[in-house]
Structure 1
Amino acid sequence: MLRLFRPIFFVCGILALIMTGLLLVPMLYGYVVQDPEYRAFLIAAGLSLPGGALMIGLGRQRRFNLNSRQLYLLTSMSWLLLSFIGALPLMLTDHPLSLSDAVFEAVSGITTTGSTVVSGIGDLPPSILLWRSLLQWVGGLGVIGMAVTILPFLRVGGMRLFQTESSDWSEKSLPRFHEMAQRLLFIYLMITLVCGLCYWVAGMGPFDAVNHAMTTVSTGGYATDDASMGRFSDSILWISVVFMMIGGMPFMLYIRLLSQRRWSVLSDQQAKGFIGIVLFLIAVLTFEQVVFDGEPLMDTLTHAAFNIVSIITTTGYASTDYTLWGEFSIGLFFIATFIGGCSGSTSGGMKVFRFQLSYQFLADQMHKLVHPRSVTAIRFNGKPIPDDIIASAVAFSFLFFIVLAATTLILTALDVEFITAFTGAITALTNVGPGLGDTIGPAGNFYTLPDTAKWVLSLAMILGRLELLTVMVLLSPVFWRG
């Protein structure tokens, strides 16, 4: 058993040291601006550092290779570790959160969900605001890295679609792992810097611009005020729309662009489908609000575009309480909650490629009902898709709704009202942020939920972020007998 866990301890120890370094960022900033809460980050770093060193000591060995069983364990344990370290300073402040609230807030941050238990966000110390944003920024980077490196190896997720496109790509165009990691970090950092600069030029203060840039590109949704993005101008909302869309696109396309320097590499079936769905939903919502409710065109278009993009990219920002727009609008936002962004992006949700594959699979089955002897192949970006990728998408979809039903029932058993329980389960599994209703809607938060419900939702957020199968396989007896 120690042989199984030793490499996992080593990697988790390294992650703990990285988190220790990140804790020093809000600590130093708090010290400079004379925020007394900097001490909480200093103490948290003091706890994280020896813990990381101990795990490295337990896991150190001359040479090791991670097999698939160890990667399944590492993926789950690393996100749990990051969440608990992220919760430390939230429990050590002068006005501490409880263990349940701190873990919920940290899990929501590191999974880029954006749900919160905090009221009066604008009154929080700047070091705490910066830490919440940093959690989401690092979580977004971790999501992309996991999607393009670990999940394809584990035969989970949509980035395996890139592996089916060309053997030439995997052998010549794809950089070695460390080069790809460097380019991914460079692209992610550059997009964040450009986003922050655009926010600042459009009128945000420097602190707000930095925080919102990190939570926009990571499609996380933590804001620096209870009003979310509703207190900013229309120009800032449109900037946010652009960068949320960028965050919702496959980052492998950006790596390709940096490697090959040809705009044609951005042509991708999933990206086109994602953009098409977004434009369609914006058009439908704007039409309904303008024609049937008599709302002004440009103002409606701005808020419809912002809130649709925020929900479908699972960012969770809100410019207004869209649940007041009528039942049709609520239904449209409810549907958008499931879709999510592209695989290999910072977004959550079921992912666009699964809907595309499911549609093609359904069309193929309909065709075979009429022509039972025909031989057809489901294609993506012009290339045939192996049956195991389609089977993985079907298995994920089935498991998603099973877990959704189970989570909803557990929450209702904890005396959580049904709409709150149902939409809370959805928003946790899809990593969106706000749910529906007065309690956890865009104008509310999760503070009033029972502590046990917060733990359930925290687990659901991690399940959703790790594509469900990665965690659920750990509950299988065959995994431990392997």
Structure 2
Amino acid sequence: MLDLRPVGYVIGLLVALLGASMLVPLVVDFALGDGNWQAFAEASVITLACGGFVTVACANSLGRGLNVRQAFVLTVGVWLALSFFGALPFVLGAPGLTATDAIFEAVSGITTTGSTVIVGLDDLPAGMNLWRGMLNWLGGLGIAFVAMIFLPVMRVGGMQFFRTEGFDTLGKVLPRATDIARALMSVYAGMTLLCVLTYLALGMVPLDAVVHGFATIATGGFSPSDSSFGKYPGAAEYAGAFFMLLGSLPYIRFVQMVNGTPGAVWNDAQVRALLRWLVYAVATVVLWRMATSDQAFEPVLREALFNLVSIFTGTGFFSGSFAGWGSFALVAAFVVGMIGGCSGSSSGALSVFRVQVLFAAIGAQIRQIHTPHRVFSVRYDGRTVEVDVMNALMMYVTGYVLTIGVLSVGLTLTGVDTVSAVFGIWTSIGNIGYAIGPLTAPAGTFDAFPTAAKWLMILAMLMGRLALLAVFVLVLPRFWRA
């Protein structure tokens, strides 16, 4: 029988820490004389109590390690629990959301998707906008741990490939998981601080700089303004594009760089491919826009760069009129959104690594057809990709595409138009957050979606953040019987 006590202990502890973190926006609202601090007080007490009780009840499991089955349950359980308790402030205080909308907002935040159902962000209490940014920031760091520590062990979607060479975070980069956590936290916090200071220097008000800084490094996309980065056109957009790119690169490479390997980031094949594909996408869209409109070059370049980086990295900020540029720009956005950032970062979607291996496999198959008497192996960054890695990766890519199709059909059955449905699932499962389609066009939010559609999007956001198979495996009876 599966022992859930070690899982419960970790989840309870994290829920209690989430409750403690609610004291930060509480203090902000209290200091500003906003009565919304009481909502955070209530939510904090409830969350601390529930997390504390579970932690104490499961404390007799201390000292026991997690097996693979427990790791699956923990990975899914953490996101479900944090999403539920993270939604409490949205229900108890401003903006007074329904349970469905509150959970949608919390899941979108903690999965670093960035989609929102709130209209009137500029009028929200400062503490509530700060809480939204904190959810992004906490989720961004959390997925980095999952991607680098749990997913390779669980052999999800080909991630076991990173248990070799420089990505073996369990042994070759740093000796213990606690050291990994400490190093990652230092890098993550350092990049966030640098981003916030940069935004302040470029003229953002303190609250906007902090919330945007949290969301940028986490590639989360929550903004304290309905106009997102459209409120700060110009230099802030270039700075935002730069820091979004940093947040989409493998965090472990920054740790290696800090520990004395200056070329660690550039030597990663994922990083080079991401930058190369981004240049191709931006250049193509800019040339097309210049040929089909009378806009000046610099605004076109800036808007294309910022919005495509935002979509590519799965951040979800928007600026200018990019979403209205027409079908060509939207197709380019759809493609880069499907790819996503690098494995081992807070970005979602397929990931550059999986797409690279997919291209390599296609190339090997074409060569095999051309020269049937030779054996061509699939290679990535000079190393042969083993069969079990390829099988897991192909299953993941196939499942990802099929899931988009099935959930898109499900969304249309709730009454959502086809364009809004496809882009709604695309933005959810890829944790992109970018709103495209007739239903989102008026306000740039998903508030107009039916309740059933929002729950399908919640499911898609969680599945995308947890690498699909980590969720699918839990519904198999054999998993619980093993």
Q: Which band: TM-score by shorter chain?
A: over 0.9
Cα shift at 1:468:
0.2
- Could you say which residue in structure 1 is the equivalent of 2:125? 125
- Could you say which residue in structure 1 is the equivalent of 2:363? 363
2:190 is matched by which residue type in structure 1? Answer: M
- Could you say which residue in structure 2 is the equivalent of 1:299? 299
Contact kept, 8 Å, 1:157 with 1:343, in 2: the verdict is no
Which is further off, 233-242 or 168-177?
168-177
- Could you say which residue in structure 2 is the equivalent of 1:404? 404
CA offsets, 1:328-370, max 9 Å, x none? 1122112222111111111111111111101100111111112
* Deviation >4 Å, runs of 4+: 166-172
Q: Does 1:39 align with 2:23?
A: no
- Could you say which residue in structure 1 is the equivalent of 2:471? 471
- Could you say which residue in structure 2 is the equivalent of 1:138? 138
* TM-score, normalising length: structure 2: 0.96
- Could you say which residue in structure 2 is the equivalent of 1:151? 151
1:36-185 equivalences under 5 Å are: 36-61=35-60, 62-157=62-157, 159-165=159-165, 171-185=171-185
Contact kept, 8 Å, 1:270 with 1:352, in 2: the verdict is yes
Contact kept, 8 Å, 2:157 with 2:396, in 1: the verdict is no
2:15 is matched by which residue type in structure 1? Answer: A
1:391-430 equivalences under 5 Å are: 391-430=391-430
- Could you say which residue in structure 1 is the equivalent of 2:28? 29
Equivalents in 1 of 2:448, 2:273: separation in Å?
A: 38
CA offsets, 1:431-466, max 9 Å, x none? 111232122249521111111211111111000000
- Could you say which residue in structure 2 is the equivalent of 1:5? 4
Equivalents in 2 of 1:168, 1:201: separation in Å?
A: 38
1:377 is matched by which residue type in structure 2? Answer: S
Equivalents in 2 of 1:376, 1:333: separation in Å?
A: 33
Equivalents in 1 of 2:70, 2:173: separation in Å?
A: 29
CA offsets, 1:408-436, max 9 Å, x none? 12212211222111111111110111232
Contact kept, 8 Å, 2:216 with 2:315, in 1: the verdict is yes
Provide the alpha-carbon RMSD of the alignment: 1.7
Contact kept, 8 Å, 2:253 with 2:264, in 1: the verdict is no
Q: Does 1:289 align with 2:289?
A: yes
Q: Could you say if the C-alpha distance between residues 309 and 172 of structure 1 is closer, same or farther in structure 2, counting changes exceeding 3 Å?
A: closer
Contact kept, 8 Å, 2:152 with 2:162, in 1: the verdict is no
Q: Could you say if the C-alpha distance between residues 76 and 442 of structure 1 is closer, same or farther in structure 2, counting changes exceeding 3 Å?
A: farther
Equivalents in 2 of 1:96, 1:273: separation in Å?
A: 44
Q: Could you say if the C-alpha distance between residues 18 and 155 of structure 1 is closer, same or farther in structure 2, counting changes exceeding 3 Å?
A: same
Structure 2: stretches of 5+ with no match in the other structure: none
Equivalents in 1 of 2:437, 2:150: separation in Å?
A: 37
CA offsets, 1:355-396, max 9 Å, x none? 110110011111111222323332222222222221111101
Equivalents in 1 of 2:169, 2:10: separation in Å?
A: 29
Structure 1: stretches of 5+ with no match in the other structure: none
Q: Does 1:186 align with 2:175?
A: no
1:200-215 equivalences under 5 Å are: 200-215=200-215
Number of residue equivalences: 481
Contact kept, 8 Å, 1:434 with 1:441, in 2: the verdict is no
Contact kept, 8 Å, 1:438 with 1:444, in 2: the verdict is no
Which is further off, 223-232 or 325-334?
325-334
Q: Could you say if the C-alpha distance between residues 343 and 166 of structure 1 is closer, same or farther in structure 2, counting changes exceeding 3 Å?
A: closer
Equivalents in 1 of 2:169, 2:68: separation in Å?
A: 24
CA offsets, 1:94-115, max 9 Å, x none? 5410000000000000000010
Which is further off, 25-34 or 264-273?
264-273
Identity %: 36
Q: Does 1:388 align with 2:367?
A: no
Contact kept, 8 Å, 1:257 with 1:266, in 2: the verdict is no
Contact kept, 8 Å, 1:164 with 1:383, in 2: the verdict is no
Equivalents in 1 of 2:169, 2:57: separation in Å?
A: 39
Contact kept, 8 Å, 1:199 with 1:236, in 2: the verdict is yes
Cα shift at 1:255:
1.4
Q: Does 1:263 align with 2:263?
A: yes
